[in-house]
Amino acid sequence: MDELDQQILDVLRRDARTPYTEIAEQVGTSEGTVRNRVERMTEDGVIDRFTVSTRTGNVKAMVEVSVAVDVDTTAVSARMAEWQLVDFVWQVSGEEDVVLIVDAADTQALNELITKSRELEDVVSTKTRLILDEQR
């Protein structure tokens, strides 16, 4: 990846729907170059997916999950990634093993997801942090 790829990614991180022509104008190259580079970065796995970030007024939270030492964290993460309210699942280092980014309609829905997490046999504990503000 070079500087141009980084610039293209910076634009896409802010808004993944930005037209290639607009990206090209912002980074000083042609639309075809942007298209080709985005396709290459997607094929190479640099761009994993294009997603939507919402501002719905819902309750957003980070649910930090600790799993047992002898557990396959990847398997637990994959299972949690399938849950409807979960936007992102990160495997992390530190006291916790997995972080869920959750977008729930209300605190009751968030609490139900936390309970669902705690009911998994492999989960040792959870810690929840409400997201109060988000800058882009």
- The pTM (predicted TM-score) of the whole model is 0.66
115, with CB counted inside 10 A (0-12, 13-18, 19+), is exposed
The pLDDT tens digits along the chain (136 residues) read 899 999 999 898 888 899 999 999 999 999 999 999 999 999 999 998 887 666 666 899 999 999 999 999 999 999 999 998 998 999 999 999 999 999 888 999 999 999 999 999 999 999 999 999 877 6
Q: Name the nearest CA neighbour of 66 among 31, 102, 42, 91.
A: 91
Quote the DSSP letter at residue 84.
Answer: T
Quote the DSSP letter at residue 17.
Answer: T
Instruction: Strand 86-91: give its sheet, edge to edge.
Output: 86-91, 98-104, 59-67, 123-130
